[in-house]
Amino acid sequence: MHPQYFHYDRLVKSEDLNHHGTLFAGRSAEWFVEAGFIAAASALPAQNIVCLKVHGLTFTHPIKAGEVACFESKIVHAGRSSLTVFVSLKLQGWDEPILTGFITFVHINDSGKAEPHNLEIALTSEEDRRLNKQARALN
């Protein structure tokens, strides 16, 4: 399979804010995992995917109400039963991401046991190879 980016946008509303008036980290983590899940579900049945690990979230800029959080996600590594997805967040109109990270998902059977997914990732670009190398170092 050839990795492709999936886009997922969210309007930041007042109920998404923390006591500082910026996007609550818990809400951004929820959206981050959703964005990663969308990429994983593009390759495997959604009912057979569970999140194993979020590999860190580091914000470089606050997000305020009324701003649009634009997530991009892409599968960058396939293990025997796992998929690692790269996720980035940019504000609408921004070129640089303000949040990046990786999430590992596991393919499971109907009994909830890890099961091989038999996917292979075609690393055709330099970016794909770089992200794959970073993802392999996490596991």
CATH of the domain at 79: 3.10.129.10
Amino acid at 88: S
pLDDT in tens for each of the 139 residues of the chain? 888 999 999 999 999 999 999 999 999 999 999 999 999 999 999 999 999 999 988 889 999 999 999 999 999 999 999 999 999 999 999 999 999 999 999 999 999 999 999 999 999 999 999 999 999 999 6
Q: What CA–CA distance (Å, rounded) separates 138 from 108?
A: 21
Helix, strand, coil percentages for the chain (3-state, nearest 5): 25, 35, 40
* Residue 37: burial class (beta carbons within 10 Å; 0-12, 13-18, 19+): buried
Whole-model pTM: value is 0.94
Number of domains in the chain: 1
Contact 69, 28 (CB under 8 A): yes
Domain, as residue range, for 65: 6-138
Q: Is residue 1 part of a domain?
A: no
